Structure 1
Amino acid sequence: MSCKHFLMHGRHIPFLLAIQVAFIILFGVFVEYDKEAHSARAFDKDANATTNEGNSLGHYYPMFQDVHVMMFIGFGFLMTFLKKYGYSAVAVNFLIAAIVLQWATLCQGFYHTFDGQKIHITITSLLNADFASATVLISFGAVIGVTTPLQLAVMAVCEIAIFASNEHLGLEVLRISDIGASMLVHVFGAYFGLAVSCVLRRDVTSEKEGASYNSDIFAMIGTIFLWLFWPSFNAGLAEGDAQHRAVINTYYSLAACCVTAFAISSLVSKEHKFDMVHIQNSTLAGGVAIGTAADMMINPFGAMIVGSIAGTVSVLGYRYLTPVINRKFGIHDTCGVHNLHGMPGVIAGIVGAITAAAATQEEYGYSLYRQFSARGPLEGTAEYAELHHHIGHLHPGLGRSASMQGGYQIATLFITLAIAISGGLVTGLILRLPIFGKVPRDHLFDDELSWEVPEEDHHHQGISQVSHHDTSASPMVHHGKAVGDTHI
């Protein structure tokens, strides 16, 4: 292999090997099993080592596995709409997620389970790492096809470090409720990715940035997997009645969103036909928009209203807003993450703030103080002692009122936007450094730059052309997209 060829195609090799070695060393120094997974638990007289009683694995693992499928099949196949970029859509998604799972375990662990010496790993650590990977995969959607694997890996490392800090700020410092992570994951990931795209500013006009009939079918596989498992994403870390509500609310929000997205897609599309761009993506917006309030007492009809609004906003965003953002601001959004994750995430933040501000003890009972921990009384007060008597262990609160909690919720939304955009701008500047390379113009949205791609069977193609004289105009081969319509 020549040096020139290595610099063009192999820059990622030393980075990937070095970062994996670094992860192994860091895990060796800082990471150990939590007591639930530690073999010494077998000798703990207070624990039953022969059953799952008292072990959280049985509670969390089913939903963890659903979320895991979403990350690797759902997100991966959703991005296969690009007719010449299917390998990268699925496999680079696979690679980046595998990097993030390890790096996020370390970054989040230092904030959440670090005891001064070790990070303690439980099943919830794995679930949180999956949520973190969703953040990067959302950002990936904004720059897919115009970045190299090395640039994406570097972006992932930078983004997770910033994401973990923002997550800690929202959950531990500001004490907000965001069970479906619509603000902390979806808003952050979308606007971080858009900020990176803004800095990269590639002229990406290419006939390869489009779908074929078959690539759109593969992308629908991702859509269906995400749609089916989204209740697990929103409810994965909830418990008891809150988890039950999160599943129910997400279920109905997605259903209403799907119906509305189909209707609005047909309304705004030429000849009132369905547009596959909208169906693949906008049908999922309800899962994002209900995320923050998923475990709150929003009621099924409220969830359906939120889902319907999200589906409408998402379709209109794809049809009208994305072309304007691209033309006026030079921000290329390959998958339209602004419409699936950005705007619906903002809707989620607003809905969550309103619902939190309206929450009362009459409606929630004593679980109000688990739902919004900062609303609990201060430790050492008579009110705290009474609550502790009724519901057992309770994290000391800050004595916030309902309106104050709503204010903190909306403040977190704006803080997340600010951190995501500023972090994305800085990361974009880093990715522009010559050492990380860039995709040549003639290889945008093309797997051939990074993959061994089988040669097309020209003989078979010739026979097909003889048998079907006018297939070039058939929607079975390629179908046109309205100007500005993009995916995710």
Structure 2
Amino acid sequence: MPSKYRNFRSSVPWIILFLEVVLIILFYFLFSDDDDASGSTNSYPAFQDVNHMVIFGFGFFLTFLKRYGFSSTGFNLLIIVLGVQCSVLIEDLLVLLLQREYKDGLQRITKAAVSMTAVVISTGAVLGKANPVQLILMAVVEIIAFHMSRSINTTFLQVSDNISMMHVHLFGAYFGLAVSSHFSEPSPRTEKNASTPKSDLLSMLGTLFLWVFWPSFNSVLLVEEKTKAIYNTYFALAVSAVTAFVLSLLTAKDGKFRMTDIHSAVLAGGVTVGYAAHIIEYPWIAMILGLLASGTAVLGSYCLQRCLHPALKIHDTSGIHFTFGLPGVLGALAQVVLLVLKDWTKSPRLDYLVMIPIGAFCLTISVALITGFLTGVIVNLKLFKTIPVSKYFEDQFYWEFPHLAVGF
């Protein structure tokens, strides 16, 4: 094995260990746990659902590359467990600086796990191209930037905590795209940037887990309108799944379902309806949003992959733009329309009612793009040993394969 591989391998564990020691020290000084035992018990099912989503759901969701399954699930777990610790500390620091009331410990971990969705989505754009050190640096920078964006939205724009958290899809998608713009594009002839029936099946398993637990994700921070958010999310997801099958069949050249379309579009309804799930009065509205979201994901994949991404020199490995980015934009715009329709006769300042969510939406995307672009510059410095293009999408670059030694 070349020496640069040995050097890379010997540096990674010490970097991770150093980061963990720093986190332990910061927890000693900053973490304050004022738990309400009954509240923690009641919120545990919601935490469990979100934890299943980010670790199991997204872990398998990203296993579609035929030679990158170990790394997809393994690195996903690594950055989540490190990122949740960082997120909890950042949240505590913001509470201390802004003199807010502390939440119970379990709720803080739940919010940290939800926040990590942005990081997992972003890693999908550079899947197979970034090494573990680059992924960890991305995770730390992104979780700090996301908390800054949320804090500005909640403090200055008076956006509710739930809505500011639902910007996680937008932030993750556009941060990831900005970072990906600094990585070299793989050769279009490479066979490694592809899937197999087995890897597609594992990826679809992750999609199913995400689909099942998405209603909990959209309602986790709600108290009074939790039930409404749950059933609106379910109906949006159901119609989104049906539409994905329909459009996959209509757009396929051979008249057969394409797993890629199903994989990317069945979750789009949950992403779109997340902003307004708690204010939608009738299920048919959520169902329309699910239909539009799925159509945006399937049709957007054709347009973006063939037109926009090649023109901008952006290689989006997992298609996060049309799976999370575009449905997130649609959801933010739908929220504005629904707020106007609901309150236009009651509110004396309709322009104010519209500009607040639009301002929060623009701020989130702007912070994501700027910080993502800067992060992309930093992680591609020689210090972080950027992977050569010839080694993209390979587990063997990081993981031990004992069967290779005996000729299998």
Common fold: TM-score over 0.5: yes
Q: Aligned to 2:257, what secondary structure does the other structure show?
A: coil
Change (3 A) 1:290 1:154: same
Percent of residue pairs identical: 35
Residue in structure 2 matched with residue 215 of structure 1 by the alignment: 199
Change (3 A) 1:260 1:116: closer
Q: Give the Å deviation of 1:438.
A: 1.2
Aligned residue type for 1:319:
Y
Q: Give the Å deviation of 1:412.
A: 0.9
Change (3 A) 1:125 1:147: same
- CA deviations on 1:419-471 (whole Å, 9 max, x unpaired) are 100110000011011111111222210101111023359877xxxxxxxxxxx
**Residue 299 (structure 1) aligned with residue 282 (structure 2):** yes
d(CA) in 2 for partners of 1:300, 1:312: 19
**Residue 27 (structure 1) aligned with residue 61 (structure 2):** no
8 Å CA contact 2:161, 2:221 repeated in 1: no
Change (3 A) 1:352 1:117: closer
Q: Give the Å deviation of 1:5.
A: 4.0
d(CA) in 1 for partners of 2:367, 2:345: 36
8 Å CA contact 2:186, 2:392 repeated in 1: no
d(CA) in 2 for partners of 1:339, 1:443: 26
d(CA) in 2 for partners of 1:114, 1:434: 36
Residue in structure 2 matched with residue 102 of structure 1 by the alignment: 85
Residue in structure 2 matched with residue 62 of structure 1 by the alignment: 45
More helix per residue: 2
2:109 is aligned, of 122, 126, 130, to: 126
d(CA) in 2 for partners of 1:288, 1:185: 10
Q: Give the Å deviation of 1:410.
A: 1.1
Equivalent residue runs for 1:35-50 within 5 Å: 35-36=35-36
Larger radius of gyration: 1
d(CA) in 2 for partners of 1:179, 1:148: 33
Q: Give the Å deviation of 1:361.
A: 10
1:284 is aligned, of 267, 271, 279, to: 267
Q: Aligned to 2:401, what secondary structure does the other structure show?
A: coil
8 Å CA contact 2:309, 2:315 repeated in 1: yes
d(CA) in 2 for partners of 1:102, 1:204: 37
Q: Pairwise CA RMSD of aligned residues?
A: 2.4
Change (3 A) 1:358 1:402: farther
8 Å CA contact 1:182, 1:292 repeated in 2: no
8 Å CA contact 1:268, 1:319 repeated in 2: no
d(CA) in 1 for partners of 2:199, 2:407: 22
Deviates more, 1:348-357 or 1:134-143: 348-357
d(CA) in 2 for partners of 1:93, 1:203: 22
**Residue 86 (structure 1) aligned with residue 69 (structure 2):** yes
Residue in structure 1 matched with residue 332 of structure 2 by the alignment: 349
8 Å CA contact 2:157, 2:360 repeated in 1: yes
Deviates more, 1:294-303 or 1:224-233: 294-303
Q: Give the Å deviation of 1:24.
A: 0.3
d(CA) in 1 for partners of 2:209, 2:21: 33
Gaps of 5+ in 1: 38-51, 364-374, 376-399, 461-488
Q: Give the Å deviation of 1:332.
A: 0.5
Aligned residue type for 2:278:
D
Gaps of 5+ in 2: none
Aligned residue type for 2:354:
G
- CA deviations on 1:296-315 (whole Å, 9 max, x unpaired) are 13420000000000000100
Alignment TM-score, normalising by the size of structure 1: 0.79
- CA deviations on 1:382-407 (whole Å, 9 max, x unpaired) are xxxxxxxxxxxxxxxxxx84542222
d(CA) in 1 for partners of 2:194, 2:132: 20
8 Å CA contact 1:223, 1:280 repeated in 2: yes
Aligned residue type for 2:191:
E
Aligned residue type for 1:328:
A
8 Å CA contact 2:40, 2:104 repeated in 1: no
Equivalent residue runs for 1:10-409 within 5 Å: 10-36=10-36, 52=38, 56-112=39-95, 121-177=104-160, 179=162, 184-205=167-188, 206-240=190-224, 242-360=225-343, 401=349, 403-409=351-357
Q: Give the Å deviation of 1:276.
A: 0.6
